[in-house]
Amino acid sequence: MNLWESVLVALDGIRANKLRSALTVLGVVIGIAAVIAVVAVGQGGRAMVLAEMEGFGTNIFAVHLDWREDPLGELRTGREFTEQDLAAIRKAVPEVRHLAPVSARTSTVRGPRQQGTAQIIGTGADYAAIRNLEVARGRFLSGSDQEGDRRVAVLDGGLAREIFGRRDPLGQRVTINGMPVLVVGVLDEKKSFLDFLGTKYVYVPLAAWQHLFNEPGVIHQIEGATGDREQVREALKKTVVILERRHDAAGRYMGSSLEQEMEIVGQVTGIITLVVGAIAGISLFVGGVGVMNIMLVSVTERVREIGVRMAVGARRRDILAQFLIEAVVLCLIGGLVGVLIGVGGAFLIAALADWPPLVSWWTVLLAVLFSGAVGVFFGIYPANQAARLNPIEALRRE
């Protein structure tokens, strides 16, 4: 019997026992479907997160205190950065195109319609260019706002809609931490994967922020942007050196770039996808055990058939190949069904989560090949049991 005939015999056996065959490969179907869906959704989510981060700009960096040296914050005064530091960095680091101080606190923002909670960011005019913020109405903060100590604010689109409703917020006043502030701008309301956090933002001049929270001179960190991503590491290194020299504090400052954060996110999401995919793959092992059990039952049911085949000249390797092919065909069918369910499930989950699934063909091919490997691994024992039968004893058995 050649390979094609063995495949046809295996298919006839599957058709003759449809329900048993379906239950046998159920574990394989679930395992393959789960692995493909998890990998596809994980890769799609990873791509979306990285694309969203790239939207902020890959040429961004930030410098802050090294929290590893002071995890409880006991040595921090909040005045480890000064506006003179920014002037020195602008002068000494030509790679830096935009630079801004950043301080942040969470507070209640009251408007004429209702109130909301927002992150209050005290910063400068360059912050919009650093973070790629787009103003929908009005303007962003200016240098004269900081110099004139003006109480002005720029709201993000979601917060403006929440506290003003349909009213135009420009020229209106909101109350932040008990102090009235004039709204001069509203940012474009963009949809982001971070929307589920529900964080809203208000941007005010740094001097106004320090008055709002009674923290004179406090700057939490410095953020900057270079002309291109290749200059980020050099600019970051020079900025840290300048701060250490000005404050005589070697090793107290540390920097990070968005590119570094993207690498970390990519590694973390990759590990999570791998772990979850491995857990889903456990069902493949369970499915393989089911295939082995059913194949052992099949060998027991077909002992007389095996004896007849051996009596008419079939060799042990022919019997071994027949049952091994049946196990592989069974698992491959389960694998193909699992691929269809997995791809469909990936698109469904991605549609509900509103991100694109990335179903790579290598994942599909690997899943199908793996299902065949499961058939070989778990089919070899039943096939070997069939091949070891004594033809005379097999013919005598009822």
The arithmetic mean of pLDDT across residues 115-124, rounded, is 92
What phi and psi values does residue 32 have, to the nearest 5 degrees? -65, -45
Six token digits for residue 99? 């630079």
What's the predicted TM-score (pTM) here?
Answer: 0.63
Residues 31, 287 contacting (CB under 8 angstroms): yes
Q: How is residue 238 written in tokens?
A: 């020079």
Average pLDDT of span 188-208:
75
Q: Does 261 or 236 have the greater pLDDT score?
A: 236
Q: What is the CA 248 to chain-centroid distance, rounded?
A: 40
pLDDT digits (tens, 9 = 90+) for 130-145: 888 889 999 999 989 9
Share above pLDDT 90 across residues of the chain, in percent, rounded to a whole number: 22
Q: What is the mean pLDDT of residues 211-237?
A: 88
> Residue 255's pLDDT is what?
84
- List, for residues 55-103, the tens digit of each pLDDT value: 566 688 889 887 766 555 555 665 688 889 999 999 999 999 999 999 9
Q: Break the chain into its structural domains and give their ranges.
A: 3-52+264-396, 67-251
Report the 10 Å Cβ neighbour count for 141: 27
154: region left, alpha or beta (phi > 0 left; psi from -120 to 50 alpha): beta
